[in-house]
A and B are shown apart, each in its own frame.
Chain A
Amino acid sequence: MTLPFAIIAGLTVGSAIAAMSLRNLVHCALSLVLTFAGLAGLYLQLNAEFVGFTQILVYVGAVAILIVFAILLTRSTEPKDEPATVTPWIGIAVAVGAFLTMALAVLASPVGKRVAAPAPEVSVKTLGQKLMTDYVLPLEVMALLLTAAMLGAVIIAMKDKEGQR
């Protein structure tokens, strides 16, 4: 384990814990942004530059902004002293159980000890060519999905407003 990996991984996991446990929703969203940035750092560690920067562009630049807007538009009217969680112990127990299962699986598997091959030559050109040839159907489906999601989001968020008029 190298030092940069340890720092980035610690930051990512720490901010993810903060994102799930802080009371203030905006603080949660900001910690989430740190998690996304840390993940982008991990992608860079894995020589996946393109996906790493796409991660920042999409998650930090768009998804985080969406979440923050949603938080501000749904200002909580509930009393402050109400607990932020429901039946925390069951959920945490489930999560810890899932983690232990996965950790044991990783430790038991020989795949986990695999050491990286020399950094592969990743060119954006070949990635684009792959997207336009081998993966052209998923790409088109993705385009359709994004359009549908955009229209759907607009219509869902608009409906109530029209009803009020």
Chain B
Amino acid sequence: MTPLSGYLFVSALLFCIGLAGALTRRNAIMVLIGIELMLNAANLNFIAFWRFSENPETMTGLTFALFSIAIAAAEAAVGLALIITIYRHFRTANVDKVEDMKG
């Protein structure tokens, strides 16, 4: 069985890949994808810590991960709706070009 550190490394890698993407990509959708990746990395941490915890019967990590998945779904829906609205308004999904504060 893989030790906990293996999962933590994968999670850290995913988080940093997501972070790098969210910081560097121009397209708003790609930024959102980066954020999704970071959320998933956190989820993996929840599950891994639950599995390697002293008393997994409490299922804290599992429930937290379930709630986190639900939040991510809501976040993706609202975020993508916002991106589509921004695209309709500015005719671009490039975050650098959207610098107008007026509605």
**In the complex, A touching B (Cβ < 8 A):** yes
**Interface residues in chain A, defined as those with a beta carbon under 8 Å from any beta carbon in chain B:** 1-2, 5, 9, 12-13, 16-17, 19-21, 25, 28-29, 32, 35-36, 39, 42-43, 45-48, 50-51, 54-55, 58-59, 62-63, 66-67, 69-71, 73-74, 76-78, 82-88, 90-92, 94-96, 98-99, 102-103, 106-107, 111-117, 120-122, 126-127, 130-131, 135, 138, 142, 145-146, 148-150, 152-154, 156-157, 159-160
Chain A residues whose C-beta falls within 8 Å of the C-beta of B14 in the assembled complex: 12-13, 16, 35, 39
In the bound complex, CA of A68 to CA of B94 (Å): 17
Q: Please classify the interface of chain B as helix (H, G, I), strand (E, B), loop, or mixed, using the class held by over half of its residues.
A: helix
Question: A149 contacts B33, CB within 8 Å?
Answer: no
Chain B residues whose C-beta falls within 8 Å of the C-beta of A122 in the assembled complex: 56, 59, 62
Residue in chain A with minimal CB distance to B6:
A1
Question: A92 contacts B9, CB within 8 Å?
Answer: no
Question: A70 contacts B8, CB within 8 Å?
Answer: no
Q: Please classify the interface of chain A as helix (H, G, I), strand (E, B), loop, or mixed, using the class held by over half of its residues.
A: helix
In the bound complex, CA of A92 to CA of B12 (Å): 14
Residue from A25, A51, A73 in contact with B27 in the complex, judged by beta carbons closer than 8 Å: A25
Chain B residues whose C-beta falls within 8 Å of the C-beta of A90 in the assembled complex: 23
Chain B positions 30-86 with a Cβ under 8 Å from a chain A Cβ? 30, 32-34, 36-37, 40, 43-44, 47-48, 50-52, 54, 56-57, 59, 62-63, 65-67, 69-78, 80-85
How distant is B60 from chain A, measured CB to nearest CB, in Å?
A: 9
